[in-house]
Amino acid sequence: MRTPPADWEAAAERAVARGQRVDRWIPGFLLDSPVSLLGHAAGTAFGFVWGLLWSRGRIERRGGLWIFRGMPNVTYGRGGVCVGACFLTGDGAIDDRLLAHEGVHRRQWRRYGLLMPVLYLLAGRNPLTNRFEIEAGLADGRYVPRRPSQPTSTRRRSAISSSVKP
């Protein structure tokens, strides 16, 4: 984990606001709906098959997620990827904070369905300006250092947490 630039928090707030503006253009029947639930199920099915094909480690169910460990690095991005209700990752440690982060991604998949990968790509690869990573909690996702006074995974700012429904 590298030290983020000094102005990252302001850029993160702008990214979340931009994402909320994009959400207003998405037809309501696509968000938190039977349509998005089907997309979530399709994403979960894909993640499950991908995990079964590539996982060389333990497969477990925790926090509403199927966790596939021991995945080769080329089969997922960064430290892991959430596809539907599947968390595909390597051999790194998985603690409650990281599970909380990935749990937010699972809920994002539920909200957006198959729009999720498209919207995620449009949000960009930089986690400090990717609204989905910001909403999931950058410290919990191990993108920025945790501040000593910062409580665990429950400390979402209201502007960020209001854009993702549980």
pLDDT computed for residue 164 by the predictor: 43
pLDDT computed for residue 58 by the predictor: 93
What confidence category does residue 159 fall into, taking pLDDT thresholds of 50, 70 and 90?
A: very low
How far is Cα 129 from Cα 8, in angstroms, rounded to an integer?
8
Per residue in 99-158, pLDDT tens?
Answer: 999 999 999 999 999 999 999 999 999 999 999 999 999 999 999 988 776 555 444 443
Per residue in 60-92, pLDDT tens?
Answer: 999 999 999 999 999 998 889 999 999 999 999
Which are the contacts of 103, defined by CB distance < 8 A and separation ≥ 6? 63, 64, 65
What are the two backbone dihedrals, phi and then psi, of residue 56, each rounded to the nearest 5 degrees? -120, 15
Q: Taking Cα atoms as reference points, which of 142, 43, 40 lies closest to residue 99?
A: 142
More confident residue, 6 or 29: 29
Model confidence at 160: pLDDT above 60: no
Model confidence at 4: pLDDT above 50: yes
Question: Looking at residues 35-50, what average pLDDT do you find?
Answer: 98
Which are the contacts of 84, defined by CB distance < 8 A and separation ≥ 6? 40, 41, 42, 43, 44, 45, 46, 47, 48, 106, 109
Model confidence at 165: pLDDT above 60: no
CA-to-CA separations, 156 to 5, 54, 101, 150, 162, in angstroms, rounded: 20, 33, 11, 10, 9
- Residue 133 backbone zone (phi > 0: left; psi -120 to 50: alpha; other: beta): alpha
pLDDT computed for residue 1 by the predictor: 64
Mean pLDDT lowest among 1-5, 22-26, 29-33, 134-138: 1-5
More confident residue, 36 or 162: 36
Q: Are 155 and 11 in contact (CB under 8 A)?
A: no
The CA radius of gyration of the chain, in Å to the nearest whole number, is: 15
More confident residue, 19 or 158: 19
Strand order in the sheet with 80-83: 59-62, 65-68, 86-89, 80-83
Sign of CA dihedral 22, 25, 29, 35: negative
